[in-house]
Each structure stands twice: as structure tokens, then as C-alpha cells.
Structure 1
Amino acid sequence: MMPDMATMSSIAGYWDAAARRFDRGADHGLREPRGRTAWAHRLRAWLPEAPADVLDLGCGTGSLTRLLVEQGHRPLGIDLSPKMIAHARARLAGTGAEVVIGDAGKPPVGRRKFDAVLARHLLWTQPEPQAALRRWARLARRGGRLVLIEGRWNAPPGAVPYAERAEATPWAHGVEPAVLREALTGLVSDLRIEPLDDPALWGWETDDERYAVIATV
């Protein structure tokens, strides 16, 4: 079922409210050199050689977008939250990087194509994650990369939806690698899954499952 405008407004409002404190998370703000270095190393390994056109979906405050710029890529960041985008624009000021407000599940990019499509912890927010995956794959140039940073979270008993009507998101607590692999069948090739259990990436020792899917479209 497609989300209605009220649901999307509720979700955008949730992330607007989170924007001011979002970068306090070590894995969000990437303020510590150790974390920035860990993410930069993986982006270099996952993405095509720079300069590449990279679509950064659910870019939030632009921490990964900034790393993409520093590595010589040409990123376009998309996020549903106007306040997240405001923070991203401040972070990227003077770099020439483009960030826009929009639904990352249905990216407002027209006929543009990209060398790589990148999404970090975005599928759990999607009311129709498999439809989103199909759209994302179509936005990559032939031979381009699809990079999905995902996980399966340890949700506490009785956890409530993160925003009004967000309980309609089928992967609300993340997605197992095997399920995501199956959802990508026919869309990609050369798919590999890389565990992301390095504490430097998150700022702490994790006890849930975190991984990246790197595939060719």
C-alpha cells in the first residue's frame, strides 16, 4: 500500500525533530577521526573510481555526502526532511555538492543516471522496500554500483513505530541479508555481502547484525 501524504508528512516531521541532535551520534556526525577514516576506507572500496556520479539516498545531515566530495565524487543527496537538508547544505557549503528535499524511496531525479546509488539504513523506513529497490536499480547506469548499508536491529519488546502509521513499513526492524539478497534477484549481479562489525564505524561495540550489500547493476 502506498503511503498517503499524512504518513509522509509525519515521517518528515519525525526526522525534522531529530535533525538538531542527529550528529551527536558517532556514526551520524562522523566528528571523530577514527570513524571518518573507517567510513572513508569503505566508501573507497565500494564505489567506482572517482570522479563518479553518486546518488546518496537518505543523506541526512550529509556526513557521507561530505566524504564523497572529499574523495572526488560528484554526489547528489536526497532526504525527506527539510531540516536535515538544511544541516547538509551547511556542511557542504562551498563544495558544489547538490542536496535536495525529496522522497528517497522515489528519488526526484528525472532522467538522470548515476555510476553508483548509495543508501545507508534507509530500507527500514520504506513502506514498499522492494519497490524502492527496483527504482534505485533503474537509476544506476549499466555496470554501475548499488551499495546498501543495512542491518537487523535488536528491537526491544513492545517497540512503537517511529512515526505515525510507520508500522506499515515491513522491514521496520531492519532486514536479514538473505531476505535482501532475494529481493535483489534479477536486479543486480556480482552481489557480495560484507559484515560491518568494526566498532570504529559506529562508535561502540554493536550486538546486532550490520552489513553492506555491494552489487553491480
Structure 2
Amino acid sequence: MTQEAAIRAFWDDAAGAFDDEADHGLRAEPTREAWRRRLSEWMPAGPLDVLDAGCGTGSLSLLLAEAGHRVTGVDLAPRMVDLARAKLAAAGRLGRFLVGDAASPPTGDERFDVVLARHVVWTLPDPPAALRDWCGRLRPGGRLVLVEGRWAGAGESMPYAVEPARLPWDGGVRADELMAAVRPLAREVRVDVLSGEAALWGRPVADERYALVATVGLTGADGGR
């Protein structure tokens, strides 16, 4: 089995129970409202064309669609994509969902106002390449939003499909590391600390969690393509 096939199979297997995690399914209104509020802070005035890279079951895509944005979700796992499509359809919202590699989404030459990725970069064999790709898909002045962290006890309960030795950011990535990787691609970069916002996660957390928000100028947008 190839590495890509192993990763696809891993997330397909995880799809059925994925939304059981409070911050995945967003089933509780306080959790859903916490993410709705944060997304509104990270998104420029819309409606916008948003690429949700590694969209999973589409919970954030749904919130974005509810806010009036035009959402394209991409995930390597077909079962995740099926669940995302069903989730938006059940809510009466529009969204486009594609099966493909989040690190290099199958959207051709399309450009977006925002590329959003939540808890994705740690899963990638080559995160810097993905960051360049995502920035290259943004329109001038577009925004990259990365919700990431350094997970306590990562890999203990559910070993990932790829050997840790082959993942540069296995177990997550510290904010300073991610900022160093994104800064050459962007005009402005900031980090919003999220560790203390228990409502986002459905419980208090002790590990590092944050959102990196970067605005890409002409140099950053051209540099990734």
C-alpha cells in the first residue's frame, strides 16, 4: 500500500466516529457558537471564496456556508467527503466537496480569498510544500488561516498511518515553528492563542492550541505557484 493510500484508509476508517469529538462534530451549541465567533474574526468581510483544506466531515465548512461564504472543501478520504456533503445538504446549505490531497487540492487555477486548514499540517509528509501551495492559491491580499497546536499525548491512543519519523510535525507544531515557515510567504502574520478557550474544544485543554492568520501579498501569492 502506498503512503497516500494508507493515509486515505486511515481517515476513511476514522470517518464514522470523527464527529463524536466535541470540536469535530460541533454538536453542542456552545462549541458551535465558539467556532462561529472565531471564524467571523478570522475571515475578511464577505461573502468570500473559501478553500477548506482537509475539511473532514465539513463542520467548519457548514459554519462558513451559514455565514454566506462560498465553500470548497477538499479531503483525501472519500467517506469524510461523503459526510461533509450530507451535512451541508441536511442543513440546506450549498458547498462543493472534492476528494483529493489537502496539500495540493484539485482545484486547478482557481483562486480563493481564504484558505483554511484545521489540524491538518501535522498529518502532512511535507508541510512547507503545502504552505507554499496554499499561499499560491490565494488572491492578492488573501488570507491563510491555520488552526493548529502541539498535542499532549499525540499518537498514544490512535497511531497515525505514517511513521512519525516521516512526519516533520508529528504530534503537532509549535506556533513559533509554524510562524517561521509562513512568514517568508506572507505580508502579515499573527497568532491567536486558543488554549484557554474551553468552549472551542468542548473541555479545558492543557496543550498548545492557536490560530495562525496570515495575509498574503503579491510576493507571497506569486511565490507558491
Q: TM above 0.5, one fold?
A: yes
Give the deviation of 1:42 after TM superposition: 0.5
Deviations 1:180-207, CA, capped at 9 Å, x for gaps: 1111122012211000120000011101
Gaps of 5+ in 2: 217-225
Gaps of 5+ in 1: none
Number of residue pairs the alignment of both structures matches: 213
Residue 86 of structure 1 aligns with an amino acid whose one-letter code is D
Paired residue for 2:86? 90
CA distance in 2, matches of 1:68, 1:167: 35
CA distance in 2, matches of 1:128, 1:72: 33
CA distance in 1, matches of 2:159, 2:38: 31
Q: How does 1:1-217 map to 2 (within 5 A)?
A: 6-93=2-89, 94-155=92-153, 161-165=159-163, 167-197=165-195, 198-217=197-216
Deviations 1:4-63, CA, capped at 9 Å, x for gaps: x71111111111111111111000000100001000001000011121000001000000
Normalised to the residue count of structure 1, the TM-score between the two structures is 0.94
SS of the residue aligned with 1:130?
A: helix
Identity %: 50
- The CA RMSD over aligned residues, in Å, is 1.6
Mean alpha-carbon deviation: is it higher for 131-140 or for 152-161? 152-161
Give the deviation of 1:169 after TM superposition: 1.1
Q: Contact (CA 8 Å) 1:7, 1:166: kept in 2 or not?
A: no
Residue 141 of structure 1 aligns with an amino acid whose one-letter code is R
CA distance in 2, matches of 1:174, 1:145: 21
Give the deviation of 1:76 after TM superposition: 0.2
Q: Contact (CA 8 Å) 1:7, 1:165: kept in 2 or not?
A: no
Give the deviation of 1:161 after TM superposition: 4.2
Mean alpha-carbon deviation: is it higher for 161-170 or for 144-153? 161-170
Residue 153 of structure 1 aligns with an amino acid whose one-letter code is W
Mean alpha-carbon deviation: is it higher for 160-169 or for 137-146? 160-169
CA distance in 2, matches of 1:164, 1:139: 27
CA distance in 1, matches of 2:214, 2:68: 21
Give the deviation of 1:78 after TM superposition: 0.2
Q: Contact (CA 8 Å) 2:183, 2:189: kept in 1 or not?
A: no
CA distance in 2, matches of 1:22, 1:157: 16
CA distance in 1, matches of 2:159, 2:62: 30
